[in-house]
Amino acid sequence: MHRILSREALAPDVVRFWVDAPPIARKRRPGQFVIVRLGEGGERIPLTIADADPKRGAIALVVQGVGKTTRDLNAMEPGDAIQDVAGPLGLPTKIEPGQRVCCVGGGIGTAVVLPIARAVREAGGHVVSILGARTRDLIILEDDVRAVSHTCVVTTDDGSYGQKGLVTDALREAIAKAPEPFHEVVAIGPLPMMRAVCELTRPLGLRTIVSLNPVMVDGTGMCGGCRVTVGGEQKFVCVDGPEFDGHQVDFGELMARLTAYKEQEAVACARHPVAGPFTPAW
Amino acid sequence: MRSASGGGAVHARVVRSMAKKITQKTKTPMPCVDPAVRSRAFVEVASGYTEEMAVAEANRCILCKNRPCIAGCPVEIDIPKFIQKVAEGDFEGAFQTLTEKNVLPAICGRVCPQEDQCEKLCTLGVKFEPVAIGRLERFVADRAAAFGSQSDSGTSPQPTGHKVAVVGSGPAGLTVAADLAKMGHSVTIFEALHEAGGVLMYGIPEFRLPKEIVQREIHGLERIGVELKVNHVIGRTFTVDDLFEELGYEAVFIGTGAGLPHFPKIPGVNLIGVYSANEYLTRSNLMKAYKFPETDTPIVHGRRVAVIGGGNTAMDAVRTALRLGAEHAYLVYRRTEHEMPARLEEIEHAKEEGVEISFLAAPVGILGDDRKRVCAMRCIRMELGEPDASGRRSPVPQPGSEFEIDVDVVVFAVGQGANPLIRSTTPDLHVNKWGNICADAATGATEKKGVFAGGDIVTGGATVISAMGAGRRAARAIDVYLRNPLPDGV
Ligand SMILES: Cc1cc2nc3c(=O)[nH]c(=O)nc-3n(C[C@H](O)[C@H](O)[C@H](O)COP(=O)(O)OP(=O)(O)OC[C@H]3O[C@@H](n4cnc5c(N)ncnc54)[C@H](O)[C@@H]3O)c2cc1C
Ligand SMILES: Cc1cc2nc3c(=O)[nH]c(=O)nc-3n(C[C@H](O)[C@H](O)[C@H](O)COP(=O)(O)OP(=O)(O)OC[C@H]3O[C@@H](n4cnc5c(N)ncnc54)[C@H](O)[C@@H]3O)c2cc1C
Ligand code: SF4
Ligand code: SF4
Ligand code: FES
């Protein structure tokens, strides 16, 4: 049992929790995730460890309510308990000291980018961040990201906040303006966004790391449900990832695989007390 | 029953010698749920012997002098002794005899490949059908459970103060934990999933091994003081070295199984509706996807499902497909029935339930529709050629023999490798070229001090009983190791 210590709404349908999980808080490194099961009969879902406080023995999860399980979770309150939290899973982000990195976060992807940006900064690197969302309300964790970035640009599709446009527009500018070339770009967000970033950086030969979000079950390499094709080879995201060289990823295949349970998800969603329109994941 | 035999040994022998003359040639049939009913439900297929059936079957045993059956049992159960007690109606005594050697009799009686083990060597089998040893074992264990008997009814052992960590809660881990706890050591099992039991929980389906039985055995362990920590992924939550240095364990047993699924290198394996048997069975068994939407985990329900393989895993997957509502459940195997590694009983049950088997065929590609969902599978016919390294005749593809079948779900049950999590985080652990941990066959000792291993992680995919045997041998060796901190040759 893992007690929820605090709950804070960051945006409509997006909540940050601090959850009691001492061994995981001590062990986790940026880029890793946990598998969570709320209770009996529940699904096992992966969530990135957005932050950790080893002293308090707690980890932070930032959750976007997109379906049954994430909405059930977002309806939980401090004092409630999550039955199962397993981790930290996946390989930590490879962070080399003193690198110039452009961190691009789209929507909930910002929660995944934040610990990486912080780690780059702590390793003496230079961090340029770009945060994007459809509209002002959906920009999350801006202050946290600003605090670890040398430069931070915000974009919204509708121009309601920051620069009007897509993150790729801001990235193009950032690359052009950079006094010294970036060592790499870390782009995390919806698949179409990650793919667009990769299309932009590929011709420039600029290394681009993405974090993939396939459907998972065990998270330990046992089921193969999370398989993706990277550089023509089969990889299991839960043990070989979740981060990969974006220029090698077969995004089309992953997008298709994410629709595997569309009909069932709609059924499960309809059973949720606060059923809303079905929205795709980050 | 008891009054019929009078309980006396002399009298029993008389009864027995009379029984010898009227030996039934065939096994007492196992009562089973009607195939038409069970193939659509997850109820247990075989319902078990009644006392009368068990006594009748036990009386078929001729108590031969050299007792060849025992050598066929990897944990060396005293088979004639327990069977004789059944014949005498001393079911409690039979249970004690079983549990001297086997901590999971209700499970082994159900899932052991008896035809390759104990029953293979049974003298009766030379002329007739062998004694149904597995069914009797199951009967005795189930009856004991129903009457609340416990194998550990003896006095609790003197605590030794030694701490042992067991990684993985499959049959190997459960056995090593039980044995060490009975020796007085303090034992903690670390399991990656949210439920203990390994393949017994996530792989073998309810209709063949009710989960209640596995849970019963696990509660038994907790009752004798074994601590169970689920959701602990060793290599991640703690490394093997952390178990020693941070948590103070003096020995570690690794029983993490063969859990890495293989997919063939053919086009279409990443289409929607293609599963590894592990994923298909885990969704159905562990996550109870067959109860969706009452439970939250979904599964693709195929109308026409093809399962590739010929082992127990393949049989379980194809029979699960039927129970999930498939109109056609095909099994595609590249050799013939003769070479199938699955238990005989499962093959028979599958046929009764309407599984359509295609021998001497293998997939060469999977075809998808415009939504990237499976719509058909291309296969090629095989012929058997020369025997390969395993001694089985190897299949040779026949050029020009390709054919297509319409399917919407494909499940691969074509073997599994070793999960890399532990070896990649424990640099001084030796593994072979397949990634299996190198461990001494007699003791389970590895090259790394204080680390022992056994079960599928050492042997590659094998059987429940062989994993238990490895656990038992390792427990003895760990006990010696703990009592002699500076052993030679352990
Ligand atoms: C490594 C990793 C890290 C992630 N980190 C976060 C995070 O920090 N915050 C966050 O809000 N979300 C994160 N996700 C996505 C999150 O796991 C899914 O949104 C969640 O599983 C949806 O479950 P649901 O029942 O609420 O929705 P459903 O109705 O089941 O599904 C909605 C969407 O989620 C996808 N999905 C469904 N089941 C799974 C599953 N078991 N695993 C992965 N995706 C699934 C579906 O393809 C669908 O697009 C992460 C995913 C991965 C793989
Ligand atoms: C579908 C199926 C059907 C089968 N049918 C039969 C049958 O009828 N008869 C028979 O005799 N055999 C059968 N087998 C084979 C038999 O189940 C195995 O040989 C046996 O379970 C191996 O036992 P084990 O203890 O080595 O490992 P497993 O049972 O595989 O258990 C290993 C456990 O370790 C856990 N684990 C793995 N990595 C870690 C980690 N890093 N940290 C913590 N925990 C970890 C796993 O989650 C798992 O619970 C079948 C196998 C399958 C898959
Ligand atoms: S444990 Fe298995 S091999 Fe041994 S007697 Fe029982 S069924 Fe036979
Ligand atoms: S070999 Fe068969 S007949 Fe002989 S003792 Fe064993 S079970 Fe009985
Ligand atoms: S989630 Fe099962 S192998 Fe990755």
Tens of pLDDT, residues B432-447: 988 899 999 999 999 9
Distance of alpha carbon B373 from alpha carbon B375, whole angstroms: 6
Residue owning the nearest CA to atom 1 of ligand 4: B122
With a 6 A CB cut-off, is A74 part of the ligand 1 pocket? Answer: no
Q: Is the pLDDT of residue B253 over 90?
A: yes
* pLDDT at residue B486, as a whole number: 60
Top mutation candidate among B83, B114, B115, B139 for ligand 3, by most atoms within 8 Å of CB = B114
Lowest mean pLDDT among A52-66, A192-206, B1-15: B1-15
C-alpha B474 to ligand 1 mean position (Å): 41
- Specify the pTM: 0.91
Top mutation candidate among B67, B98, B115, B129 for ligand 4, by most atoms within 8 Å of CB = B67
A229 reaches B (C-beta below 8 A): yes
Q: Report, as an integer, the average pLDDT of B378-390.
A: 88
Q: Return the higher-pLDDT residue of A253 and B486.
A: A253
Q: Return the higher-pLDDT residue of A81 and B16.
A: A81
Residues on chain B touching A217 (C-beta within 8 angstroms): 279, 282-283, 287, 297
A 232-271 residues with CB < 8 A to B: 234, 239, 253, 256-257, 259-261, 264-265, 267-268, 271
Residues on chain A touching B270 (C-beta within 8 angstroms): 227-229, 234, 253, 257
* pLDDT at residue B19, as a whole number: 45
C-alpha A71 to ligand 2 mean position (Å): 34
Q: Which residue has the tokens 């406080």?
A: A53
* pLDDT at residue B389, as a whole number: 79
Residue B103 banded pLDDT, cuts 50, 70, 90: confident
Residues on chain A touching B287 (C-beta within 8 angstroms): 43-44, 217
With a 6 A CB cut-off, is B456 part of the ligand 2 pocket? Answer: yes
| β-sheet with A163-164: strand ranges across | A163-164, A151-156, A126-133, A100-106, A184-188, A208-211, A243-245
Q: Report, as an integer, the average pLDDT of B49-58.
A: 94
- The minimum CA-CA distance between B268 and chain A, rounded to whole Å, is 11
Which tokens sit at A140? 């999350």
Q: Report, as an integer, the average pLDDT of A176-194.
A: 93
Tell which residue, A213, A75, A215, has the closest CA to residue B298. Answer: A215
Closest Cα in chain B to A253: B270
Distance of alpha carbon A178 from alpha carbon A166, whole angstroms: 19
Give the per-residue SS3 of A27-83: HCCCCCEEEEECCCCCCCEEEECCEEECCCCEEEEEEECCCHHHHHHHCCCCCCEEC
* pLDDT at residue B420, as a whole number: 87
Lowest mean pLDDT among A161-175, A196-210, B380-394, B465-479: B380-394
Residue B393: count of CB within 10 angstroms of its CB: 16
Pocket of ligand 3 (CB under 6 A): B 73, 75, 77, 79, 102, 108-109, 112, 114, 117-118, 133-134, 137, 465
* pLDDT at residue A277, as a whole number: 44
Q: Is the pLDDT of residue B489 over 90?
A: no
Examine residue A97 and say whether the peptide bond preceding it is cis (omega within 30 degrees of 0).
no
Give backbone dihedrals phi and psi of A14, rounded to 5 degrees, phi first: -120, 125
* pLDDT at residue A4, as a whole number: 96
**A212: DSSP letter:** -
* pLDDT at residue B284, as a whole number: 93
Closest Cα in chain A to B293: A268
Residues on chain A touching B240 (C-beta within 8 angstroms): none
**Strands A14-20 and A2-11, how do they pair?**
antiparallel
Residue A60 banded pLDDT, cuts 50, 70, 90: very high
Residue owning the nearest CA to atom 37 of ligand 2: B256
Top mutation candidate among B464, B472, B473 for ligand 2, by most atoms within 8 Å of CB = B464
Which tokens sit at A193? 């966004």
Q: Is the pLDDT of residue B18 over 80?
A: no
3-state secondary structure of A103: strand
Q: Return the higher-pLDDT residue of A282 and A182.
A: A182
Q: Which member of A44, A87, A224 has the closest CB to residue B276?
A: A224
B143-152 pLDDT tens trace: 998 887 665 5
Contact at CB, A86 and B232, closer than 8 angstroms: yes
**B76: DSSP letter:** -
Pocket of ligand 4 (CB under 6 A): B 61-64, 67-69, 79-80, 122-124, 131, 133
Give backbone dihedrals phi and psi of B260, rounded to 5 degrees, phi first: -105, 110
B151-185 pLDDT tens trace: 555 567 889 999 999 999 999 999 999 999 999 99
Q: Is the pLDDT of residue B83 over 70?
A: yes
Examine residue B74 and say whether the peptide bond preceding it is cis (omega within 30 degrees of 0).
no
User: Furthest-apart CA pair in chain A: how many Å?
Assistant: 54
Distance of alpha carbon A115 from alpha carbon A51, whole angstroms: 6
A115-173 pLDDT tens trace: 999 999 999 999 999 999 999 999 999 999 999 999 999 999 999 999 999 999 999 99
C-alpha A66 to ligand 1 mean position (Å): 8
Mean residue pLDDT of chain B comes to 89
- The minimum CA-CA distance between B226 and chain A, rounded to whole Å, is 19
Burial, B263: exposed, middle or buried (Cβ in 10 Å; 0-12, 13-18, 19+)? Answer: middle
Residue B13 banded pLDDT, cuts 50, 70, 90: very low
**A93: DSSP letter:** P
Q: How far apart are the first and last CA of chain B?
A: 48
Contact B131, B117 (CB under 8 A): no
B372 reaches A (C-beta below 8 A): yes
* pLDDT at residue A29, as a whole number: 95
Q: Which residue has the tokens 């050029």?
A: B399
Residue A142: count of CB within 10 angstroms of its CB: 17
* pLDDT at residue B2, as a whole number: 38
Q: Is the pLDDT of residue B480 over 50?
A: yes
Contact A197, A184 (CB under 8 A): no
B 272-311 residues with CB < 8 A to A: 272-273, 275-276, 278-279, 282-283, 287-288, 291-298, 300
Q: Is the pLDDT of residue A282 over 50?
A: no
Ligand nearest the Cα of residue B455 is 2
Q: At what angle do helices B464-483 and B171-182 cross, to 10 degrees?
A: 40
C-alpha angle with apex B232: B228 to B237, nearest 5 degrees?
140
C-alpha A218 to ligand 1 mean position (Å): 13
* pLDDT at residue B1, as a whole number: 36
Residue owning the nearest CA to atom 3 of ligand 3: B73
With a 6 A CB cut-off, is A216 part of the ligand 5 pocket? Answer: yes
| β-sheet with A58-64: strand ranges across | A51-53, A58-64, A14-20, A2-11, A81-82
